[in-house]
Amino acid sequence: MGERTTVVTVVHGRHDHLREQVRVLRRVAPAVHHVVVAIDDAEVPVILEQVARTTVLEIATDPLGLPVAAARNAGVERALSDGAARVVLLDVDCVPGRHLVTRYVDAFMRAGDALLCGPVTYLRADQGVPDDPDDLTSMRAPHPARPDPPEGKLLRHGDPDLFWSLSCALSAPTWRRIGGFHEGYVGYGAEDTDFGRLARSRGVDLVWVGGADAFHQFHPVSTPPVEHVVDIVRNATLFHRRWGAWPMQGWLEDLARMGLVTWEPDRLLLRGPSPA
C-alpha cells in the first residue's frame, strides 16, 4: 500500500470523456486506483458503479462557479487517506498514454521532491480516442507552449508559470510541502499558475517528464474564453493580490481589446454585463 499510485480526476459533465478516460486508464494501468471527484453531478456514481478500483467523491458546487481547486484538494486528500504514496492529477478531458503512469513513477524515483508534468496532445475534432491505446502514439503532437523532453528524459527547473494540472504528479510529501491548491479560486482560471508559484516558493522544482503523455479529447473552445470573463476577472485579481503580477495576460489583453474589461497595471475591472 505504501507504494500505491492513485489517479485523481475532477468532473462536472463531460460524461463521454470520463468514460473514455476510464476505459483507457483500465487498459494502460489496471492496477492503479482512481478517485473521481464529482462536482454536483449525480450521474457520475451511476456511470462508475461497476468500475473496479474506483472511488467517487461527491462535492457541492459553489454559488460563484465550479470549485475546481477545492475539488482537486478533496480528491488528493481522499487518495492519501486511502493509502496513496503518489498522486497523478488527470483532467477529465484527458486519456493517459500507454506509459503515462510508468513514466511518472520512474520520475518519482529519479527526481525526488519535485512537481512533475507531462506533455499533452490536443486531439483534433476528427480524432477520436482509438480502441487500442497504443494507436495514440501516432497522434502525438504535444502542445507547443509546453516543454516536450525526449522519451524517458527529465527536464528540471521548469518555469512555474507553465505548470498545468491537465496532467501532473507528485508524492504525498511534496503535496504536503506545497499545501494544495488555493481554494479562493472558483470557476475558470489562474489556480494552476498559482499552484506553480506556490510550489516554487516552497522550494519544489517543476520537472517535465518525457514520455508521460496524455491526450486531450476534443471539445469546442472559445479564445479568449469570453463566457468565463467574470471568473477570469475575479481569479486574476486574487492572483495579483497574492503574487503582484497578472496571470493569463494574453487573454486579459484580448478581453480589454474587446471592451469587456478595463485592465490597468494595478487593477482589473469588468465593463458591462458578462457575455454569458
Q: What is the mean pLDDT of each run of 10 residues along the chain (276 residues)?
A: 84 97 97 97 97 97 96 98 97 98 96 95 96 96 96 96 96 97 96 98 98 96 92 98 96 96 96 61
pTM for the whole structure: 0.96
| Separation between Cα atoms, residue 270 and residue 276, nearest integer Å | 13
pLDDT score for 61: 96
pLDDT score for 273: 59
Query: DSSP strand E in 17-107: where?
Result: 33-39, 54-59, 84-90, 94-96
pLDDT score for 3: 78
Torsion 219-220-222-223 (CA) sign: positive
Asked if residues 71 and 183 have their Cβ atoms less than 8 Å apart, the reply is: no
- The DSSP result for 170-207, as a single string, is EEHHHHHHHT---TT--SSSSHHHHHHHHHHHTTPEEE
Q: What b/e readout covers 37-54, taking b as 16+ CB neighbours within 10 angstroms?
A: bbbebeebeebbeebeeb
pLDDT score for 272: 67
**Sequence-separated (6 or more) residues with CB below 8 Å from residue 39:** 10, 11, 12, 59, 60, 61, 66, 67, 68, 71
pLDDT score for 1: 38
Query: DSSP strand E in the chain: where?
Result: 4-11, 33-39, 54-59, 84-90, 94-96, 114-117, 120-122, 154-155, 167-171, 205-209, 214-216, 261-264, 267-270
Antiparallel, parallel or unpaired: β 114-117 and 167-171: antiparallel
Domains of the chain, CATH where assigned:
4-216 (3.90.550.10), 226-270 (no CATH)
| Separation between Cα atoms, residue 61 and residue 28, nearest integer Å | 32
